[in-house]
Structure 1
Amino acid sequence: MKKIYLFSDGSSLGNPGPGGYCAILRYKNHEKIIKGGEKETTNNRMELKAVIEALKQLKEPCEIELYSDSNYVVKAINEWLDSWIKKDFKNVKNVDLWKEFLKYSKPHKIKAYWVKGHSGHTENEICDKIAREIAAKYKS
């Protein structure tokens, strides 16, 4: 299995408001930046969308180290998802995106790690900058 590093961040100007997301996929010396946004969304949706859109790029099962400054995304992946599935996502927000995440994460082995935002983590800073720029474009 290829080992992939996935760095992600999401942003919204207002919650809800215009939002953007960015992810960096890294395999050995290769990197790919995935980015996008929406006119009306929330920060948590953009954090999760970054991860989903990055997973969609992978063509084979991979071992993934995911780095995010979103406790919501990291804890959901590492701790909460199994119980959410068992209770059929009752009282869970962003069910559409979590179901999409499950679809695209299925072939992979993913371990999520939390990184402190705005603390100099290079890839997180890059993703944050791009996500905020995209959110600002949707605001215009």
Structure 2
Amino acid sequence: MSTPFLMAALEATRQRLTSSTNVIVHCDGACQSNPGGPGGWGAVIDCPIAGRVKLFGSARRTTNNRMELQAAIIAIAVLPRLCNVRVVSDSRYVVNGASTFAESRRKKMRRGKEIPNSDLWERLDQEQNRRFVTFEWVKGHNGHPENEMADKLASRGLREAAQLDRLLA
């Protein structure tokens, strides 16, 4: 969900990270009543120059995979072009889709074959092409501090989406 407040926060974050060169992103997504329920995403960006930045957001009707992708996309998008980024996620869907299976996924998309979340995969590819990005998988809910922090941020986004859902129901 893009709101004026979220857009302003992302622009402020982008300005703060302008001189970043080597960045680690920890990201996570969450969804209630998957698929089709409210969801949230969270990202923790660690940068030697700017310090730690935390981001989160939400969507009213979504899937867990979309939230996992959204977390990675937005965290990468706020970073300066040509910086080195290591994305750490507990989502094999994101990690494998962006690395191991990326080329076969792109070929399918070029041939016009339907793949889930193609809009987000295209956006992730665009953001990756502007930076030097690698992906790393970590086991979720296994005591990894930054992954746990990203999970809490995603849960916060989910709670906000669920609250909005109840208000608009």
TM over 0.5: yes
- Percent identity, aligned pairs only, is 36
Q: Which amino acid aligns with 1:67?
A: V
Corresponding residue number in structure 2 for 1:51: 72
Deviation at 1:14, TM superposition (A): 1.1
Q: Which has the higher strand share?
A: 1
Q: Are positions 1:21 and 2:41 aligned together?
A: yes
Contact 2:55 2:153 in 1 (8 A): no
TM-score scaled by length of structure 1? 0.94
Shift of residue 110, structure 1, vs aligned partner: 1.4
Post-superposition Cα deviations, 1:41-63, rounded to whole Å, max 9, x if no partner, equal 00000000001111111122111
Partner residue of 1:61? 82
Report the counterpart of residue 22 of structure 2 in structure 1. Answer: 3
Please say if residues 10 and 21 of structure 1, whose CA atoms lie closer than 8 Å, have aligned partners that are also in contact: yes
**Superposition map of 1:62-77 within 5 A:** 62-77=83-98
TM-score (structure 2 length as normaliser):
0.78
Greater RCO, 1 or 2 (C-alpha within 8 Å, sep 6+): 1
Q: Which runs of 5+ in 1 are unaligned?
A: none
> Who is 2:167 aligned against?
none
CA RMSD of aligned residues (A): 1.4
Which of structure 1's runs of 4+ aligned residues deviate more than 2 A? none
Larger radius of gyration: 2
Whether the 8 Å CA contact 2:43–2:153 is kept in 1: the answer is no
